[in-house]
Chains A and B, each alone.
Chain A
Amino acid sequence: MTSYPTRMGDGHAVEMSTDELRCDILAGTEDAADRGRIPALSQEEQDYLLDLFSYPGKIVGVQPGNEVVLTDDGSVNALYGAQSSSGVGVPLSRELAIRVYERAFCMDTMEVGHPDYSFKPVKPIVSLEQQCLESVLSSTIIPIYYGAMPNLALYAKPDGPFGNPADLLPQGKISEARAAQEEAAQALTRDMVYVGRKMAEVGADGFNFDTTASAGDAEFMATLQAVEELAKTTELSIEVGMAAEFVLGMHGQVTYDGVRLAGLYPHEQLKLVEKAGAHLFGPVVNTNTRRSSAWNVSRAVTFVKACSEAASIPIHANVGIGVGGVPMCETPPTSMVTRASVAMVEIARVDGL
């Protein structure tokens, strides 16, 4: 029986037969369809994925003419940064690293981001960040974003002044946990709007809220409110990228535009992001490390296809390590990264990655 070299969701090599690949592709799409209450991939789309995973070449690519726009989430930090940012430690400034990405790696857009990459630590040093962004904008051609993570958890004790829901909830203090998150969310919105306005002042093309809702529904609410304010009052092009496929209900009751935020899947998150006034949406689908890449890619493109079909703004799917069908490991295999890339373009019909 013919078998094909492929990878598990944790990156480890595995061989799978045609039947095993076909079964995993079906199981992946059915899992997404069941959880998201969305259509599963058609037989033709499943066959396309089977061809993709049984193609003998190491890397694959989209059909010429189907190429998409690339935006990134702090990728520049991966050139000069350390292991925690998948960094390769090249001793370059951010300004120089962005020039390398523009001229040598040929990215369509780039982003300036603080090494700590959350809005809270950016606020006290915002003038330094403005200076870096200003320098980058004066020396590059491609559109430049400023990006950071909302990261509501940094506002809870011991890192911040507000109560910590992770401490309060196990004690049964549910109303206190909710109140603490609401207070923290207000502070977060204020900080994000403050930083956004500062970046607009120096001419940023865009502003990226990356890893949105990592601390759950209250963080998503805070971000949507900041998006709404910045979209109304600045020229910034706003991108909202999510942290996970499913908004955690750490609060459970917060709403935006009358919609309860806890439990929303990508195609539902999108509608609120559009309503808030964002220009681009980055859906996330988490990788299951115990399942094959075929299962993960099939599942991810099912969610993202539903999102893409429902969108009126460009969709840039997240396909970094551990999301979008890409294995969860420090050095993602190019064989699986390119297969996830192609599947997102050719099946999910994304506008970018």
Chain B
Amino acid sequence: MGAGDPFGMPVSHALASGMGGIRTAGDLVARMQLHRKMRLPEAKRYVADRLKVAQSDLSDEVAMRELREELDLGVVTSMVGGAKALAAKARIGRLLDVRVPSVEILKQKIGVS
């Protein structure tokens, strides 16, 4: 995005045009752009196919809140017992078939391939 105070810049863009991060499927679509160089339509199509939902559901807060809990991918509200941090990223990596570098380091540390 660029420089600016938090309310004027990131929050304003998030409301106007952002996918919504872990509140929706924003982090999942971001991973496909980052790890596979996918452009937005392809990244959304890929994630929607993996989640078995319509592309319009990817930025639907209600639909994705329920689905993230069901698939245990980490949810935005603090939920006891749900996957968090590296556990959530490991599950996301498996769902999307992408290597998440921090998860790979954890696997090496605990001797899991």
Let me know if B16 and A71 touch, CB within 8 A.
Answer: no
Given known A-B contacts A68-B18, A86-B4, A319 and B85 have beta carbons under 8 A apart: no
Task: Give residues 74-109 of A contacting B (CB, 8 Å).
Answer: 74-75, 78-79, 85-88, 101-103, 105-109
Q: Which residues of chain B have C-beta atoms less than 8 A from A21's C-beta?
A: none
Tell me the complex Cα distance, A341–B8, Å. 12
B interface, size bucket:
35 or more
Q: Verify B22–A141 contact, CB threshold 8 A.
A: yes
Q: Which residues on the A side are within 8 Å of B86 (C-beta)?
A: 137-138
**Interface presence of B40 (CB below 8 A):** yes
Q: Point out the residue from B6, B16, B27 that lies within 8 Å of A142, measured CB to CB.
A: B27
Report the minimal beta-carbon distance from B39 to chain A, rounded to whole angstroms. Answer: 5
Verify B39–A106 contact, CB threshold 8 A: no
Chain A minimum-CB-distance residue to B83: A141
A151 at interface (Cβ–Cβ under 8 A)?
A: no
Contacts of A322 in B (CB 8 A): 3
Taking a contact as CB atoms under 8 Å apart, the answer to whether B27 and A143 are in contact is yes
In the assembled complex, the Cα of A324 lies from the Cα of B103 at a distance in Å of: 35
Assess whether B8 is in contact with A69, with CB atoms less than 8 Å apart.
no
**Within B3-42, which residues are at the interface with A (CB < 8 Å)?**
3-24, 26-27, 29-31, 33-35, 37-40
List of A residues within 8 angstroms of B13 by Cβ: 70, 319, 337-338, 341, 353
Does the CB pair A61–B3 fall under 8 Å? Answer: no
Interface residues on chain A, size class? 35 or more
Evaluate contact between B15 and A68: CB separation under 8 angstroms: no
Q: Whole-angstrom distance between the alpha carbons of A237 and B43 in the complex? A: 15
CB distance from B4 to the nearest CB of A (A): 5
Q: Is B70 an interface residue (CB 8 A)?
A: no
Is A132 close to B, CB under 8 A?
no
Min CB distance, A72 to chain B, in Å? 5
Does any Cβ of A come within 8 Å of B102's Cβ?
yes
Question: Is the pair B9, A108 in contact by a Cβ cutoff of 8 Å?
Answer: no
Chain A residue with Cβ nearest B25? A108
Q: Does A313 reach chain B (CB closer than 8 Å)? A: yes
- Contact check, B5 vs A331: say whether CB atoms are below 8 A apart: yes
> A64 to B17, Cβ gap below 8 A?
no
Given contacts A69-B30, A320-B2, A326-B2, contact A235 B99 (CB under 8 A): yes
Point out the residues of chain B lying under 8 angstroms from A68, CB to CB.
17-19, 40
Bound Cα distance from A137 to B99, whole angstroms: 14
| B29 close to A108 (CB less than 8 A) | yes
Task: A62-B16, A85-B3, A319-B13 are known; give 18 further A-B pairs, CB within 8 A.
Answer: A69-B18, A70-B1, A72-B2, A75-B1, A107-B18, A108-B20, A108-B27, A141-B74, A279-B37, A312-B37, A313-B37, A321-B8, A321-B9, A334-B7, A342-B16, A351-B33, A352-B40, A353-B13
User: B-side interface residues toward A, CB under 8 Å?
Assistant: 1-24, 26-27, 29-31, 33-35, 37-40, 43, 55-56, 59, 73-74, 76, 78, 84-86, 88-89, 92, 99-105
22 A-B contacts (beta carbon < 8 Å): A62-B16, A64-B56, A65-B55, A68-B19, A87-B5, A103-B76, A103-B78, A105-B6, A106-B18, A107-B26, A137-B86, A140-B85, A141-B27, A141-B89, A143-B27, A205-B35, A279-B37, A314-B39, A320-B9, A341-B17, A350-B40, A352-B30
The list of the 9 closest CB pairs from A to B, nearest first, reads A320-B2, A203-B102, A108-B26, A237-B34, A338-B16, A106-B21, A351-B40, A341-B16, A203-B101
